[in-house]
Amino acid sequence: MRRTPLIAALLVIATVAAGCAQPVRGEALAGPTPTTTPGRVPGAAPYDPCKIVTWADFPLEVRTVENVVPRHRPPNPQAPDEVYADGCAFDNMGEKPFMALVIWGSITKIRVDPKGPEDKPVVYGNRRGVRSVYPGGQCVTRFTLDYGQVGGVSLVNERFPEVDPCTIVDVLAEKIVQRLAS
């Protein structure tokens, strides 16, 4: 099984898509401000990436096994190109890879504006962001949160070619935004 190279490839994709260490503008299109968002303070994690979504949130077509347990996946301190602050991996490996990485981090390190031909502007709820598509069933999205933070989902899907990886990424990003708003 190719877990180590797959994780490395997923992180490289997320990092390249994130536009390493490039500060950008990033704000909600509308909605809560720091003074109206109860329970959230500047610098605090807005969510636990292993709890904000569950395996049940993934489309039925990719849930060929039951109750995939997410694995906490913090950035490696030895890898400065891992720009997120915290992450969680969900995988359903088979003959071919299927892995999602749910992350959050700082807008000073993770790009949310379209910069390249693979980038498309997106909106989840009232949050703007960017989604990037790469060959080999890879899709990455990043979107703004309160207090200069960014949420995101990165997915490698070679196992289920009939399922668009960006559809899964969009579903999970919408779930994150909805759950943060409630």
- Residues 41-88: tens digit of each pLDDT: 445 678 999 999 999 999 999 998 888 899 998 888 888 777 888 999
99, 84, 69: which is closest to 165 by C-alpha? 99
| pLDDT for 80 | 79
Interacting residues of 153 by C-beta distance below 8 A, sequence separation 6+: 100, 101, 102, 103, 140, 141, 169, 172, 173, 176
pLDDT at residue 38 greater than cutoff 90 = no
| pLDDT for 133 | 94
Instruction: Tell me how far apart the alpha carbons of residues 155 and 13 are, in angstroms, rounded to a whole number.
Output: 9
Q: What is the C-alpha R_g of the chain?
A: 15
| pLDDT for 70 | 92
DSSP string computed for 1-27: --HHHHHHHHHHHHHHHHTTT------
Instruction: Tell me how far apart the alpha carbons of residues 76 and 82 are, in angstroms, rounded to a whole number.
Output: 7
Instruction: Tell me how far apart the alpha carbons of residues 81 and 21 are, in angstroms, rounded to a whole number.
Output: 9
Interacting residues of 160 by C-beta distance below 8 A, sequence separation 6+: 61, 62, 98
- Residues 158-178: tens digit of each pLDDT: 999 999 999 999 999 999 999
Tokens standing for residue 121: 């502007």
- Residues 104-143: tens digit of each pLDDT: 998 888 888 889 889 999 999 999 999 999 998 999 999 9
